[in-house]
Chain A
């Protein structure tokens, strides 16, 4: 025990937050013991109440047994004295050390080559709060936190099914980040889980700090600007995904859970679509689709039409725009590009600035800069309108990753529109379509179910059919069992 204790301490040196408590077990002639844990990671109250107290104050009952030689001491302690749910034995010094580092306590007893690992992790975690990125009007308000246990519990309490599988693995040579692979045994497409496991196992990295690291390692095409995995802070979204036969990857230290496979249309869907009435959901989805198009093509069409195809405008509109642009010293391309750039700057500033002033700066900044720029005659009010509408339209897209990709493409399309007019925009559009068509997410085409076409699945893409008509699970994720009601539970 002394050797082990000294060795572990030496390994961890200098670690002054390592607490080593040596004491004598509470019966006559009892051996000495040592308890090791890291301050702040293990629950001190718990250790004092349920480890130290019974061990130091226990009577002679155990001693009798020990003297009679019935069973080993550790076994007796484990079975009779320690009221702790998670206890395991280990004779491996490295395992003990790792357990201490991850927040467990280690109990070493004189005369025993083995040690006990006590599951007493108890560090401060953030409480469950409303997700900040995916708000809904109607729907559950709980969001994932940084603690994997909490996150798994949020899923478990929605899915108390024996079919829910949770597999743990640790990624990152130094961070040893706990990652959970969650799926429905009965529903996930055969081979999918194996494929995910294979890709996860291939990850070689020092540390995983966020699920984004994992995403880049396991996605099919990491050179694409489109995310091929869905990330979400919402447990209801993950649960819905699991029920469709998808796989979730929960990562320690981040509220963002990955869902795969993913199709591009998922970035147009909000969980609320499934809670609200179908007509409203359909209207919202169509609006988001329109917003997607506006957000991608709005400014570039504006630039293309004004620079090259002015004849396409109806005369009154043309006159209005020309009047508004009178005196503006820049070509419309420069104007639009500069305004878009300013918008992105303000948006980024809004994210980075300290929270209390962030929002104020972004709004006032936009108003002041926009307004003064127009008054000074540097940009036309029409450009400001186009840019503002585009920006707002982009905010309505629920999938943040997809929306960001579109922001990037928007700049490219403005440049092409400035260079080549409508032809440039369409050329870019063709490139984007070819690219999207080539993407796959874990064997599912990214544009499914539109291309390849699956008519049955289309009822949950541009609109949502009422729940009672959706009798089958979406075929794009190819769940393997019969629909509900047609199988034994």
Chain B
């Protein structure tokens, strides 16, 4: 099957959408709840950490320009350990997707369709994302290219429209003392930002691979900036206590928008933006998991895997938590599972790569080939 090709811009758009889809729903309330007024700081810590991980993955990606995570982990860690790493890695991505699907289901049933069974929503979401994944990475990338700028633009518009209601005094006090709890609370957004380890699967398909890190950095910066702005706006409008008590602060924030008594209650807009990015993210993750399995198991096509994976995804998201509060509680434990995968495994591979293929110039693949010659 032909390898897809995406542009750095498309890659950045996918990363941005992935971050937004995961973070704009529950994270604002969570971080404000933990840190208070300085909650927006956590997003910058998360962004910095995530770009660092991105740099590590970039290093690996440049060492193996033709290969993705699934392939070079086998080269670096050997077939046994490599397979274990692949299992954990793909499982983690599937779980991340399941979390998104589940949040989707909970958000819709809690806020808009209380009478509809959540399973129905979940299966529909998985179906739509599965169709997207079935079309392949290039289609997902183009859809991302279309959706992400609109999503980012609308989020900035929302910030712009609520800005008259912000009372700056509510954002104080910002003291140096807030930095330590902020750092601690930033674990959760970091874990969620860290889902961008998906980068390792996309890198071989990016044309002009050198620009991947730049695209990644820009994407993370844009996404974290707009999220941080909206968190700050939410605190500025509602105050830290109330923001922390909401389930989804930004949804509440869009409700207060009123322009000229006509343009009111834009939560529909917010909801649409979030849903589109979430569809995109879930489709992307499904594709990546299917493609990864295909490569790992040397299959000729990834598409037959989508149906079982879709059911697995739907089932995983069903058993993920028994209700919405439990989902939110899990969120605070998520880093203890996610970070070892995102940061731990990546660093381990980088270390292996550094030890085994030390020296300058030439990709590791070249050296391997040279060694065998």
Contact = CB atoms under 8 A, between A and B. Distances in A.
A305 B268 contact: yes
A221 B324 CA distance: 42
Interface stretch (A55-63, A206-214, A331-339, A428-436): A428-436
A227 to B, nearest CB: 19
Contacts of A447: 142, 146
A314 B262 contact: yes
A309 B112 contact: yes
B131 A434 contact: yes
A479 interface: no
Interface in A430-444: 430-431, 433-435, 437-438
Interface in A168-194: none
Interface string A302-316: 000100110111100
A331 to B, nearest CB: 14
Give the residue among B142, B262, B264, B283 with the most A Cβ atoms within 10 A: B142
Contact of A453 (B9, B139, B264): B9
B275 interface: yes
Contacts of A427: 124-125, 128, 275, 279
Contacts of A445: 142
**Is chain A's binding surface mostly helix, strand, loop or mixed?**
helix
B361 interface: no
Contact of A430 (B132, B138, B141, B142): B132
Interface residues of B, number: 37
B7 A437 contact: no
Contact of B146 (A308, A313, A435, A451): A451
Contacts of B140: 434, 437
B143 A422 contact: no
Interface residues of A, number: 27
B164 interface: no
A433 B147 contact: yes
Nearest to B147: A433
A169 B218 CA distance: 53
Contact of B116 (A420, A434, A435): A420
A423 interface: yes
B22 interface: no
A314 B265 contact: yes
Interface string B213-235: 00000000000000000000000
B291 to A, nearest CB: 16
B112 A430 contact: no
A31 interface: no
Contact of B139 (A421, A423, A434): A434
A450 B113 contact: no
A305 B265 CA distance: 12
A452 B261 contact: no
Contacts of B146: 433, 437, 447, 450-451
Contacts of A451: 10, 141-143, 145-146
A313 B261 CA distance: 11
B265 A437 contact: no
A47 interface: no
A426 interface: yes
Contact of A437 (B113, B125, B139, B272): B139
Interface string A285-320: 000000000000000000001001101111000000
Contacts of B10: 451-453
Given A309-B112, A452-B10, A437 B142 contact: yes
A438 B276 contact: no
Interface in B103-131: 108, 112-113, 116, 121, 124-125, 128, 131
A452 B145 contact: yes
B136 A438 contact: yes
B271 interface: yes
Contacts of A452: 7, 10, 141-142, 145
Interface string A30-64: 00000000000000000000000000000000000
Contacts of A420: 113, 116, 121, 124
B275 A430 contact: yes
Given A427-B124, A450-B145, A438 B139 contact: yes
Interface in B66-116: 108, 112-113, 116
Contacts of B265: 311-314
Contact of A314 (B124, B135, B261): B261
Contacts of B132: 430-431, 434
**Is chain B's binding surface mostly helix, strand, loop or mixed?**
helix
Contacts of B138: 437-438
Contacts of A426: 271-272, 275-276, 279
Contact of A423 (B113, B141, B143): B113
A412 B142 CA distance: 24
Nearest to A304: B268
A450 B283 CA distance: 20
Contacts of A431: 128, 131-132
B97 to A, nearest CB: 15
B276 A437 contact: no
Contacts of A313: 265
A420 B123 CA distance: 13
A431 B108 CA distance: 18
Give the residue among A309, A313, A433 with the most B Cβ atoms within 10 A: A433
B135 A430 contact: no
Interface in B243-300: 261-262, 264-265, 267-268, 271-272, 275-276, 279-280, 283
Contacts of A314: 261-262, 264-265
Interface in A397-436: 420-423, 426-427, 429-431, 433-435
A6 to B, nearest CB: 59
A427 B132 CA distance: 11
Contacts of A312: 265, 267-268
A226 to B, nearest CB: 14
Give the residue among B9, B268, B276 with the most A Cβ atoms within 10 A: B268
A109 B138 CA distance: 65
A452 B108 CA distance: 31
Interface in B336-367: none
A309 B7 CA distance: 39
B279 A437 contact: no
B109 to A, nearest CB: 10
A420 B258 CA distance: 26
A270 B121 CA distance: 41
A453 B145 contact: yes
A409 to B, nearest CB: 15
A438 B125 CA distance: 19
B272 A430 contact: no
Interface in A309-358: 309, 311-314
Given A420-B113, A452-B145, A429 B276 contact: yes
Nearest to B130: A434
17 contacts: A309-B268, A312-B267, A312-B268, A420-B113, A422-B271, A426-B275, A429-B276, A430-B279, A431-B131, A431-B132, A434-B135, A435-B131, A437-B138, A437-B139, A438-B136, A438-B138, A451-B146
Given A423-B108, A427-B125, A451-B142, 19 more contacts: A308-B113, A309-B112, A309-B268, A311-B265, A312-B267, A420-B116, A422-B268, A423-B275, A426-B271, A427-B275, A430-B143, A430-B276, A430-B280, A433-B276, A434-B279, A438-B136, A438-B138, A451-B143, A451-B146
Interface of B: 7, 9-10, 108, 112-113, 116, 121, 124-125, 128, 131-132, 135-136, 138-143, 145-147, 261-262, 264-265, 267-268, 271-272, 275-276, 279-280, 283
Sorted nearest first, the 9 A-B pairs with minimum C-beta distance are A438-B135, A437-B142, A451-B142, A438-B139, A451-B145, A434-B132, A430-B279, A437-B139, A437-B143
